[in-house]
Chain A
Amino acid sequence: MLQFPKWKIVMVLLVSLAGLIWSAPNLLSRDVTDRLPSWLQPVSLGLDLQGGSYLLLEVDTAYVVREHQASMVESLRTLLRKEKAKYADLGAQGRDGVKVRVLDPADRDRLRPDLRKLDPEAEVSFADDGLATFKFPEPVLNKRIKAAIDQSIEIVRRRVDELGTREPSIQRQGTDRIVVQLPGVKEPDRIKALLGKTAKLTFHLVDDSVSPEEAQRGRLPAGSVLLPSAEQERGLPSHYVVKKRVEVGGDMLVDAQPTFSNGQPVVSFRFSVAGGKKFGDATRENVNKLLAIVLDDKVISAPKVNEPITGGSGVISGNFTVRQAQDLSLLLRAGALPAPLQVLEERTVGPDLGADSIRSGAIASGLGIILVVIFMWLIYGILGLMANVALVLNIILLMALLSILGATLTLPGIAGIVLTMGMAVDANVLIYERIREEHRLGRGVIGAVQAGFERAFGTIFDANLTTLVAAALLFQFGTGPIRGFAVTLTLGLISSMFTAIMVTRLMVSLWIKWRRPKTLPL
């Protein structure tokens, strides 16, 4: 073993050098690292260390299906009214279908092709008693849910970007979850409030055939709905009866800005060309009627249409504060969420607590290293010092690996590093104890050292690999802190195998070659 092949020595030196280079940025200040190339950056820190906010959101997928059912119901109503067919029992059928009964058999036969064409993706079936059912197959619903989630992620991204957050990360998790990570955000309350709003803006005609009081008592015309006011204020109605039919939707908006009108904060908006035309038509046909502006099923205001609005722009006035007008225009610009979002989990760490954690983590690791180094030196003398060099190199390599792989270092990750140090020392203890044992069995110094390294290798390999298997599973199935812990443990095990088997061995062989000791220095 004294004849270490040249290429191995070169490899150990190169790896150590690479470790030094890639771990070095971690010691530099942010000003310096900002000017370094992207392949040479310090370890990215988790939100628990750098401070920031983590939000786990869930998309309400049941809502997506319900919306789909509701829009199908509206299409059916429009079709049947246009065709002047009498019908009954129009509504949702179970979780994933819609039903309607066409009363006149002649209408049934006449409208059958039209009903079939209404939604090509639905499975349509006609019963003898005139009941038509539309069932949405599972793949169709799943496709819609997936589209809704993709769109939700996009909208969340736009809303977060509008707020000017630094380096936000927005990712899908599982099938219907979105993880939002906002470094540096200390009070996520405003973001949470903004993400909690669907921001679905629609314009509806107010149904003046019944008063809201009558509607509340149950006299609600079909095709109309009773909606509450956004601001419950004296002098204004608490509820409105509005037609379900959407005149124009917020999806046709191209811009919205907070401005002032008569000293009151308002939101001015502009439609796309198509939207502007639709809005112009709607206002032309309904002069002197009330047009309700509805946001998330609440009526913001219901101004009277004095004249056709053909310019494609308008103003939403409500009882807004400046902040509310800003937020509403932000939401309108970013677009509506296809389904409501629910915050399932929130974890926010202030930046100074993060800094405290890094400091105490570093001090704890530092003290741990110093104590272990002293311990190893006391137990194994000069060979212990060599093991210590390997230990320090192990940490350098681990930091370099974390930097290269772009892994995120978290607080449990620091715990993982401290514990890998234990494993790294264990590898050296196994080797040295084995050398001592071989020497006791009567081998000479060189023979004992050689046999010690060789025999201990199998043990180290098996012990590390079993832990590696466990760490890999933890990474796969663990969440949050467990994952951060698994990352550093895995990488630490890999680098400790390298340092214990290659680096310590190289140092010990070179030392023996140089000093030619007569007795075992253990």
Chain B
Amino acid sequence: MSSFYARLIARTPKFDFVGKRVPAFVVTGLIILGTFASIATKGFNFGIDFAGGLLIESQTIDGPADIGKMRDVLGNLGLGEVSLQEFGTTGRDVMIRVQRQAGDEKAQMAALAKVKESLGAGYDYRRVEIVGPKVGEELKRDGVLAVVLSVLAIAAYVWFRFEWQFGVGALIATFHDVIATFGLYSITGIEFNLTSVAAILTIAGYSINDTVVIYDRVRENLRKYKAMSIYDLLNLAVNETLARTFLTVATVFITVVSLLVLGGEVLHGFSVAMLLLFVLLVLLVLLSFLLLLLL
């Protein structure tokens, strides 16, 4: 049972990460620019948590759902945009999304009554969510507040535990990852809801985790090798922690894939986002290695 991993990486790698900072900055800059461009032009596909409206998960009591008929019935109610989406394996489950109704909260409730009435008996409503315009705006504000405050608190903590330069670095790194994640939501058009905020915060958590692990090594090396240049010092810290970085990404990747495959419909959005983000992370790492090989 001798460890096969030991044979895989026997020495500390000696990649010159710091030397490739210019191309890395260019790639990062392009990602951030692309994000802002996409948010400005395309915006987000807000789910009902933020946009307000209705979400109904219906299941026919027997036999598969006739989605065409449902679309006809619901499309003629004058409720604006109604989207239907089949999911699951039995063909009985249909997710109904109705856009936010003009007017106050009562209008949303009335829309739900209308949908239920027009579909009639024969449907089981497994999940109903109604978010009025007021709450939607508040959830949006609270979500942004939670993300920004968390990132700031992280930076403050790093500042307190390390030096202020580290705090600024952590702030930039974390905001970069958060912004890139927002960009991913905007570009792919994946529904953005409260669960997405949780996904983004998880990414921020992992991002800061990686940052702190590397910073910790930088700080240790600063004490150990007093004469070493900052250039070599940073490279050494990244290389020394590289094996750990890969292993951790791999294990998290495993858990995210299992969430995606078996986590069910409600966790689906969360797992898809997490997986895409991890693919993005891995792509970024691969990209940096490709750059290393090319340059």
Contact = CB atoms under 8 A, between A and B. Distances in A.
Interface of A: 48, 56, 58, 186-187, 189, 192, 342-350, 352-353, 356-357, 359-361, 363-365, 367-368, 371-372, 375-376, 378-382, 411-412, 414-416, 418-419, 421-423, 425-426, 429-430, 433, 436-437, 440, 455, 458-459, 462-463, 465-467, 469-471, 473-474, 477-482, 485, 489, 521-522
B259 interface: yes
B251 interface: yes
Contacts of A436: 6, 243
A192 B105 CA distance: 13
Contact of A48 (B113, B262, B266): B266
Interface in B188-225: 194-195, 197-198, 201-202, 204-206, 208-209, 212-213, 216-217, 220
A419 B255 CA distance: 7
Given A357-B266, A466-B208, A479-B194, 16 more contacts: A342-B105, A343-B105, A349-B126, A350-B124, A350-B126, A353-B127, A371-B254, A372-B251, A412-B270, A440-B12, A469-B153, A470-B201, A473-B153, A477-B149, A478-B197, A479-B142
13 contacts: A58-B134, A349-B126, A360-B267, A364-B262, A372-B255, A375-B251, A425-B248, A465-B157, A470-B150, A473-B149, A478-B142, A482-B194, A482-B197
Q: Which 4 A-B pairs have CB atoms at the shortest separation, nearest pair first? A: A360-B264, A422-B252, A368-B255, A368-B258
B70 to A, nearest CB: 18
A522 B244 CA distance: 14
A186 B128 CA distance: 10
Contact of A462 (B105, B161, B197): B161
A415 B267 contact: yes
B208 A470 contact: yes
Contacts of A440: 11-12
B104 A342 contact: yes
B261 interface: yes
A473 B150 contact: yes
A516 B148 CA distance: 51
A361 B129 contact: no
Contact of A345 (B130, B146, B206, B259): B130
A359 B266 CA distance: 12
Contacts of A411: 266-267
Contacts, number: 225
A463 B4 CA distance: 28
Contacts of A345: 130-132, 135
B154 A469 contact: yes
A436 B157 CA distance: 29
The SS class assigned to the B binding surface is helix
A381 B3 contact: yes
A348 B131 contact: no
A470 B198 contact: no
- Chain B, interface size category, equals 35 or more
Nearest to B1: A381
Contacts of A48: 266
A419 B157 contact: no
Contacts of A522: 3, 6
A466 B213 CA distance: 11
Nearest to B217: A459
A453 to B, nearest CB: 15
A364 B154 contact: no
Nearest to B195: A481
B250 interface: yes
A481 B158 CA distance: 27
Contacts of B267: 357, 360-361, 364, 411, 414-415
**Most chain A beta carbons < 10 A, residue from B134, B135, B154, B202:** B202
A437 B125 CA distance: 57
A163 to B, nearest CB: 18
Given A459-B212, A473-B146, A378 B4 contact: yes
B187 interface: no
Contacts of B143: 478-479, 482
B258 A371 contact: yes
B109 interface: yes
B216 A367 contact: no
Contact of A437 (B12, B134, B254): B12
Contact of B216 (A418, A462, A469): A462
A348 B124 CA distance: 12
B122 interface: no
B198 A415 contact: yes
Given A346-B128, A364-B263, A463 B109 contact: no
Contact of A357 (B113, B129, B139, B264): B264
Contacts of B201: 470, 474, 482, 485
A415 B267 CA distance: 8
Nearest to B136: A345
**Most chain B beta carbons < 10 A, residue from A56, A361, A378, A482:** A482
Contacts of B16: none
A350 B57 CA distance: 10
Contacts of A485: 198, 201-202
A462 B158 CA distance: 8
A521 B248 CA distance: 20
A360 B271 CA distance: 13
Nearest to B88: A356
B86 interface: no
Nearest to A49: B266
B161 A353 contact: no
Nearest to A370: B258
Contacts of A482: 143, 146, 194, 197-198, 201
